[in-house]
Structure formats: C-alpha cells, structure tokens
Amino acid sequence: MANHSICSVIATALLISVLALPTSVQAIGVCYGRLGDNLPQPSEVVDLYESYNIGSMRIYDPNHDVLEALRGSNIQLLVDVPNDQLQSLASDPSAANDWVQSNVVAYSPSVSFRYIAVGNEAIPGDKAQYVLPAMQNVQNALASANLQSQIKVSTSVSTGVLGVAYPPSEGSFSSDAQPYMNPIVQFLVNNGAPLLLNVYPYFSFRDDQAQISLSYALFTSPNVVVQDGPYGYQNLFDAIVDAAYASMEKVGGSSVAIVVSESGWPSAGDVETTIDNARTYNQNLINHVGQGTPRRSGSGIEAYIFAMFNENQKDPELERNFGLFYPNKQPVYPINFS
C-alpha cells in the first residue's frame, strides 16, 4: 500500500475464495507484503494460504524465494514490477524481456501467473510517464514467450487518479492523471486486461467523518445511503469502484473490468481501527464481491485483501496493523474465506 494521502478520496474492498480464479467469477486473494523482520518463511506462507483456501496472492516484487515456494501450488499470482524499475523497463525493451524471462518464464507453468502490475500507485507522480511504455514492453516480452493470452499486463492505481468521485456516475480522472490514464485505458481495451484498483473506504471515512458514516464504510448500512440516478449505494466500496468505472467509460473504456488489487481495514493505530471493525469490513467484503456493483450488477469482482500479515517495519503504526494474521501465523480475528 503506497501513499494513502492520495488514496483517501475514496476506497474499495476485496476478498478470498476457495475457487481458483476463473475469468468471469469473483475470487478473493490476499496481498503478501514482506516488510517485517519476523515473518514466516515463504514455504510456510504458501502452506498457510492453502490451509485457508486462499486461491490467489499478490506480491510486490518477483522475489525468487517466494516464486520457488509457489511452484506447483495452483495459487493464482499477481506480481508487481516495482516502481524503481519502471524507468529501466520503459526505456529498454531488452530489460523488459530480461525481467519477463527471469521472473516469469523461468517459473511458468509451475507458478500460475495471472496478472503483472507494472507499477503500484505510480500515477500521478514523477514515475507516471514510464508506466505505459513499461507496460508495452512487458506485454511484448510476454508475447515473445507466447504467454500473452494467459497473463494480463496492467498497472495498480489508487483512487488518487480520480478527480471526481461523487456522485459515482460523475466519476472522472483528475487533470494530473488523465494524460497517463487515457492511453493506459486504451491499452487495457486492446489487450483485454483489467484495471487494478486499490480501494480503501477506511481512509475516506477517517478523513471525512462528518460526511461518511462508519456503517457506510463497513458494509453495514441497512438502507441506501447514496442514490445516483438508477443506482442505489449502501456501501462506500461500491461507490468508489463505480466512480472508477464511470471514469473509464468517459474515455472509451466501457469494456475494461476492475480488479481490486488492495482493500482492507486496520485493526489498530488510528480512529475506529478495532479488531471488530477490521473483521467486519473484510468479512463483509468477502461476502459482498460476488454481487458486483450497482453499475456492474451480477459481475463478480476479483479482489485482494491487504494484507496477509501485520508487518512491523512499516510506518506509521496504522500501516503495521492491516494483517489477517500475526507473524506467528495465528489469525488476528476469525474470518471465513469461502
């Protein structure tokens, strides 16, 4: 999870399923961050995913110990190109080819790669200019390896790319993001790939408690809170995702699906960051995603919960407490992933 200062405009949610990721069915994954000095070995982590029937995983760099541990697991993988490699892969097609050969081809098909996120929350920002050229070079490298049909190339963005998010139907990209997002959406259209979106209703709630109720953020509102034309919203997650859908529709991206590449709720460290609220949010997210959103009713959402573990090398304290599990592999709270 990068800059929540920019993604506090809105947020969204995600989840875990016993199903391996069929294309048009919702499935839940969990983000495996490794910013801790007391975390289990990768082989133990893979065993933990399998024991809880967590069908997909996001990792933030192609760590070879993790990739080795994933061999033969059938866990569907979303792997990032780290932001500090974007410029190299954008400017040098051979660097992108080397990256794909070393980190994907060398482990395929025994590792089930699903998506490559070329950058995480790099737009807007000083690396935004490199995202699309790097995506194009990675796509070409996958095509050279005949993997372009099974692995989709995208980028993971925060809700900071949205200039307007309320009401959801008025969603549009910000002036800072639009020069980058418009051609990226066309790339996604042309390649049948989804947009990866990090959705955090928690930060929207925390930063605007006068306007956003806790129940709207936690999926516990009994009634419609926002009526937007024909669409009624009972939770903030749906409103955020639909604002992003509306933004893409305005620039020719009606066919692009959204995969929620991060969503979660911290269990300590700030306002309303209780274990009970974290459990409520993540369990309700898991229970909800199969329904789709009002704008995409019936189209289940793939989502990745942030995060697998509490990570003790993150700051501030809030960021250390997004985990579903403690580093000793004990659950922070009971949750049903099926």
Q: Which residues are catalytic?
A: 121, 262
**Cα–Cα separations (whole angstroms), residue 278 to 34, 169, 271, 315, 322:** 20, 28, 12, 19, 8
Query: Rounded to whole angstroms, how far apart are CA atoms 282 and 278?
Result: 6
Residue 140 neighbours by CB distance under 10 Å: 15
Helices (H) and strands (E) in the chain, counts: 11, 12
228, two tokens: 């937007």
- In sign, the C-alpha dihedral spanning 90, 94, 95, 96 is positive
Strands (E), 32-170: 56-59, 76-81, 112-120, 152-157, 162-164
| Best CA proximity match to 180, nearest among 107, 125, 257 | 125
Query: Rounded to whole angstroms, how far apart are CA atoms 69 and 109?
Result: 14
**8 A C-beta contact, residue 261 and residue 307:** no
